[in-house]
Chains A and B, each alone.
Chain A
Amino acid sequence: MSIKDKVPVTILTGFLGSGKTTLLNRILSEEHGKRIAVIENEYGEVGIDQGLVINADEEVFEMSNGCICCTVRGDLIRVLGNLMKRRDKFDYVLVETTGLADPGPVAQTFFMDEEISSEFTLDGIVTLVDAAHIDQQLGRSDESSEQVAFADVLVLNKTDLVSDDALNTLESRLRDMNRMTRIIRAENAKVPIETVLNLSAFDLDQILKRRPTFLEPEYPFEWTGVYDLDAGKYELMLEEGPDPEMSLVALVNQGESEEELKDGAESSVRLYAEKANTLEPGNTIPYGEHINLKLDDKGNKSFILNIEKLTKIGLFTQHTAEEFNMKVIKSEENKEIPFNTERFWQAEHEHDDEVGSIAIERFGDVDPEKLNTWMGRLLSEKGVDIFRTKGFISYSGNPRRIVFQGVHMLFTAQPDKEWGNEPRRNQLVFIGRNLNEKEMLEDFDKCLI
């Protein structure tokens, strides 16, 4: 049976009060043409007449080997085992967990039990968070950070109760914990149905389509603009922005191709690592140095750029130009010079939470044997701390790419589409607790041919 014939399953998690029941009712009452069987765990009125709703008490079964990765939900195995005989009655399954549930056993059930995995496929994990309370919940319980870590989609609910600033901060905190998740803001759990069902969430391509930068390395700057500047004096003018200061590196002879931009970014990363020289408004910006513009005065602030002969100047700025309405102005003519090219970068920020994501992206082929050995060792040693794994791999000698996904130490891989003319490459994402990024990258590189 191919994956297409299997019944997709969405797992709905979230703390009590996060809006699961509201979302469930919405999904069940909306016209979407799907016949959904719902397995729900919390008692309460689910006012629906359509669909197949089964109540099951959560039964988490640990195995005698004590391995948390082998822990499954016995009630789901029973209920799904029965549902499987009535496949003509439904074409989708939604499993709601109790607020305090660890999503691990639910997800593992779809890997561990052969009977279940032969008929059902985990389509995605949707976690609802209450925007007003998640900050405290994350501090208090492991379950809430695990629910965030496991999520393919995070519905940031009750946004009407929280300020935009707080939402932005919260979103970047959640994004730090789980870089592959899609975050959707909602009031009263109002989200488009297609954002929570039929996600094919284990397909990395889908994620990349939505957020092409999510696998990129992080940089200490968010934005680069390249300007064509003649000899002369220029002003870099900034309005008031989100910060009283901003770091910057200016490079001369900055090319505009993707490769040249990345080279410039690498040079800037090294310069950013050095201590910044602070510049007051009116000061001249030196090239090839890490500087820090002081911006705490009110109104417009200008810094000077002196150009000796025609060149391309690359500005690698900590924040985007838009945030400060940053402009380059030719002093004599008082004329704005627009940038020729701009490039946004994945910004790096503080990682406060223990839970985080690691992305590996490398061109080339891997040696299947070395990769298996490495993954096997990694998952057996760190499986408890690795919540989710997904990605694709280019095996040397194999015309098709290999897609894989895992939950804790459970892991499935299967051949996917042919590479064709596409450059062969590997993308892996790990979400877990206290993962050692440097070590994992080095170990992966050893698997490359």
Chain B
Amino acid sequence: MPDIEPFSPRGMFHEGWTAEVNDYAIACGWALKGKQFIVGDVAGGLFAFEGDTGKIIWKKDNTHSGGLLAMAIHPEGEIFATSGQDGNVHICNCLQGKVIKTLDLGKGWVEHLKWSNDGLFLAIASSKKVYVFNETGEEKWISEDHPSTVSAVTWSNKNELATACYGRVTFFDIVNNKTNQKLEWQGSLVSMELSPDGDIVACGSQDNSVHFWRRSTGMDAEMTGYPGKPSHLSFDDSGKLLATSGSERITVWSFIGNGPEGTMPGELCHHTEPISSLAFSNKGMLVASGSRDGSVVASFLKKDGNGDPVGAAFAGDLVGEISWRPDDCALAAVNAKGVVNVWKFKVRTNLFSKGFK
């Protein structure tokens, strides 16, 4: 049958590698441009694997007494930071996992870490305070006490940091020590994402809603009706689609045209238990989701936020975190049993299938 041409790959999970860490894996990320994959477990174990093969490169135990809470890999991928219940932040090199600098921030848990896009600054949230350090661990800025424990930090541009807590999002110019903007909303904000241009602020709230602000126009909107608190938010790289989830369903808001206000969001119903991790690919409209039921699904989305699954796999247990390799050609998931799964992912090509002639 010479007239039949095979379909080009539409993005699927292909066999990659698996590995194990010592405890519940809560954080993971790609370093050294995808050559290395680093996993942190809840007990404070850190593990670096070869990105292609899963071969262990180095491991460290008990890096934080009381346990690990967060990990962030520098955008250049040469160094990374970890934080824990001991109130410490370690800045380490990726090649050997060696601690370059330890920052002691006192008694509180250090729950959030975020490198700025250019990698010059590291934002650290501990209790009601936010700190900014540079790559070498020098302190550059400290916030005043927030009204409650800081629940999220993210960078809106290279010098501007956004923080979320109960009742408000605040934008700080950390170089000139200025408060640029305060967005107030009486609600406990549990998650925050900014569109890549920094204009749209989206926060999941404890009262099962997502709140948006557009900084340029001052408009805001509240999207209600979630069955659970939307702890998981992810913008695509164009800033047009925002995937949100507080249950087993993923709700995707499209900012194209006048949306999302007054529009119907896209809905993805692929999992049987609530989503525990959600991430858009680095480029394009692929969103990957991991669930408490152990399933991992990648969906290809349309402009209206609806879409179809293009691949799925079982990670074995509650998915702690998922992470796309920088080139989007592999997807990793770590789980509550300490199992690491990395699948090769064939990205949809520009060549459309010709199908049957």
Contacts and interface: CB of A to CB of B under 8 A. Distances in A.
B111 A78 contact: yes
B166 A74 contact: yes
A63 B188 contact: yes
B274 A114 contact: yes
A63 B207 contact: yes
A85 interface: yes
Given A85-B42, A86-B24, A64 B229 contact: no
B26 interface: yes
A64 B186 contact: yes
Contacts of A57: 127, 149
Contact of B206 (A82, A86, A113): A113
Interface in A58-94: 59, 61-65, 70, 72, 74-75, 77-78, 82, 85-86
B228 interface: yes
A72 B205 CA distance: 12
Interface residues of B, number: 29
Nearest to B128: A57
Contacts of A205: none
A63 B336 CA distance: 31
Contacts of B148: 59, 61, 74
B163 to A, nearest CB: 15
A114 B207 contact: no
Contacts of B127: 57
Interface string B272-295: 001000000000000000000000
Contacts of B85: 82
Contacts, number: 60
B71 to A, nearest CB: 14
B7 interface: no
Interface string A35-59: 0000000000000000000010101
A64 B111 contact: no
Contact of B207 (A65, A78, A82, A115): A65
A86 B188 contact: no
A85 B24 contact: yes
Contacts of B274: 114-115
Contacts of B26: 85
B67 interface: yes
A234 to B, nearest CB: 71
User: Which of A61, A72, A77, A78 is most buried by chain B, counting CB atoms within 10 A of its CB?
Assistant: A61
A115 B191 CA distance: 14
User: Which of A57, A72, A74, A77 is most buried by chain B, counting CB atoms within 10 A of its CB?
Assistant: A74
Contact of A114 (B42, B107, B229): B229
B24 A113 contact: no
Nearest to A81: B231
B132 interface: no
A208 B188 CA distance: 40
B187 interface: yes
A64 B336 contact: no
Contact of A113 (B42, B166, B186, B229): B229
Contact of A62 (B42, B149, B186, B247): B186
B207 A64 contact: yes
Contacts of A65: 207
B70 to A, nearest CB: 11
Contacts of B297: none
A314 B67 CA distance: 70
Contacts of A114: 227-229, 246-247, 274
B187 A78 contact: no
B227 to A, nearest CB: 8
Contacts of A55: 107
User: Which of A57, A75, A82 is most buried by chain B, counting CB atoms within 10 A of its CB?
Assistant: A82
Given A64-B186, A85-B26, A75 B206 contact: no
A74 B67 contact: no
A169 B288 CA distance: 64
A61 B166 contact: yes
Contacts of A86: 24, 42-43, 67
Contact of B149 (A64, A70, A72, A78): A78
Contacts of A62: 186
B188 A74 contact: yes
Contacts of B24: 85-86
Given A62-B186, A113-B206, 13 more contacts: A57-B149, A59-B148, A59-B166, A61-B148, A61-B166, A64-B186, A74-B206, A78-B149, A85-B42, A86-B24, A86-B42, A86-B43, A115-B229
5 contacts: A59-B148, A64-B185, A64-B186, A114-B227, A114-B228
